[in-house]
C-alpha cells in the first residue's frame, strides 16, 4: 500500500484529499504546514507528497528547497497542487524537484491518475518527465512574454 503525504494549510482541502486517497487504497499522512511536512520527510519517505504552495510561515517552495538541500525523501514523488497558475511557478517547482504541477480547482480522478502514473515511473523516467515539464513551461513562458510585449505597443 502506497503512502501519500498531503500538505495543505486548509483543513477542508486536507480532509477531502485524505478521503480521496484513502478511498483509493493509499495510506494517508497529513501536514498542515511546511514545517510539519519537513518533519514527516525527515522521519520517513512516503511514496508521494501532494504539496500546496501558499501556506503561512514555511511555504511549499521552502519545503521543496529544504528537501533538496537536506536530501530528504529523495525517492518521494511530488505533486504540487496550488491555486497559482503562472508558468514561472511551475518552472520553479520543477527545478526544485516537483514531478507534477496541478492547479486548483482540480479533477479528483485526474489527480489520482497523475499520482498513480508517477508512482509507476522509475526515478530516471520521473527525472526525464520533469525536464520535459521544465522545457515546456519555459516555452510557454516565452510565448506569454512575447504577447505581453506586443500588447504594450
| Residue-level pLDDT at 36 | 97
Distance in angstroms (rounded) separating the CA atoms of residues 120 and 117: 5
For the domain made up of 3-152, the CATH class stated in words is: alpha beta
Residue-wise DSSP of the chain: --EEEEE-S-HHHHHHHHHHHHHTT-EEEEESSHHHHHHHHHH---SEEEE-S--SSS-HHHHHHHHHHHT-STT-EEEEEES---HHHHHHHHHTT-SEEEESS--HHHHHHHHHHHHHS-HHHHHHHHHHHHHHHHHHHHHHHHHHHHHH-
pLDDT, tens only, 22-63: 999 999 999 999 999 999 999 999 999 999 999 988 999 999
The pLDDT mean for the chain works out to: 90
Q: What is the pLDDT of residues 16-33, one digit of tens each?
A: 999 999 999 999 999 999
pLDDT higher than threshold 90 for residue 138: no
- Answer yes or no: is pLDDT of 13 > 80: yes
In the numeric block, the cell 496541478 is attached to: 102
Q: Which residues pair with 82 in a beta bridge?
A: 103
Planar angle of CA 98, 111, 71, nearest 5 degrees: 25
Q: pLDDT tens digits for 115-127?
A: 999 999 988 898 8
Confidence at 149, pLDDT banded by 50, 70, 90: low
Pairs from 138-145 (Cβ < 8 Å, separation ≥ 24): 138/87, 138/91, 140/87, 141/87, 141/88, 141/91, 144/87
pLDDT (0 to 100) of residue 152: 52
Amino acid at each position: 500500500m502506497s503512502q501519500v503525504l498531503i500538505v495543505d494549510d486548509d483543513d477542508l482541502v486536507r480532509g477531502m484529499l485524505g478521503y480521496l486517497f484513502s478511498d483509493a487504497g493509499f495510506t494517508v499522512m497529513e501536514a498542515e504546514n511546511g514545517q510539519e511536512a519537513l518533519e514527516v520527510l525527515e522521519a520517513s519517505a512516503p511514496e508521494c507528497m501532494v504539496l500546496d504552495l501558499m501556506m503561512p510561515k514555511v511555504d511549499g517552495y521552502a519545503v521543496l528547497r529544504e528537501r533538496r538541500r537536506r536530501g530528504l525523501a529523495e525517492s518521494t514523488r511530488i505533486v504540487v497542487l496550488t491555486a497559482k497558475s503562472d508558468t514561472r511557478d511551475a518552472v520553479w517547482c520543477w527545478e526544485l524537484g516537483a514531478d507534477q504541477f496541478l492547479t486548483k480547482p482540480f479533477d479528483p480522478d485526474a489527480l489520482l491518475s497523475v499520482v498513480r502514473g508517477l508512482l509507476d515511473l522509475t526515478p530516471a523516467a520521473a527525472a526525464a518527465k520533469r525536464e520535459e515539464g521544465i522545457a515546456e513551461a519555459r516555452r510557454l513562458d516565452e510565448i506569454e512574454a512575447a504577447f505581453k510585449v506586443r500588447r504594450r505597443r
